[in-house]
Every structure is written in structure tokens, then in C-alpha cells.
Amino acid sequence: MSETGKIDIDYVAKLARIALSEEEKAKFSDQLGSILGYVEKLEELDTEGVEATAHPYPMENVWQEDVVSSELPVEGALRNAPKQRQNMIVVPKVVE
């Protein structure tokens, strides 16, 4: 695992798309350092040849008939949009 359990907080915050304040960065770095220190006990566990569990019970593909059954009207889908116009969500301009 990592050498010291130290997180590159700027990099991870960027990946997570959260603008952290300087105080949050300092606080989280410390706290996450100690949480990761605790988590490192997993290292001592021998997991050679053990299958990973993604799900409590073995899952197989679940197939269904492809039938149109959507009950959500456009107004319902859009009612919580922060900004909307003519049945569309208004977003900030991102291209010149």
C-alpha cells in the first residue's frame, strides 16, 4: 500500500470533483491518514487465491423482455432541475 498512508488531497479532490477549502484539506488529510493507517491491517491478511466478492450472493445476468414501460413524464423528470427552459435543462455555457 502507500508508504505512509498520506493522501495527495489535491489530486483526490480533483478526481472527486469537490472544491475543498484549505481547512477541509488539512483536516481530511490528517483524519484520512489515521483511517488508512487502520485499514492497512488488511495487508497482513493472506488473500492468495481468494476470489473477490462484489456482491453478497452470486449474481448472473438478469434478462427481461424489452417492453416500453416508462411512467415518468417529461415534467416529472424535469421538476427538480435547477434551471430549465422548453423541456430542457439549462446548463452553463462550456464552449465559446
Binding site for another protein (CB under 8 A): 1-2, 7, 9, 11-13, 15-21, 24, 28, 31-32, 34-35, 38-39, 41-43, 45, 47, 50-57, 59, 62, 64, 71-72, 76-77, 79-83, 89, 91-94
Q: How far apart are CA 22 and CA 88, in angstroms?
A: 36
Q: How many residues does the chain have?
A: 96
Closest approach of Cβ 63 to another protein, in Å? 10
Q: Which residue has the cell 424489452?
A: 66
Question: Residue 45 corresponds to which amino acid?
Answer: L
Closest approach of Cβ 6 to another protein, in Å? 11
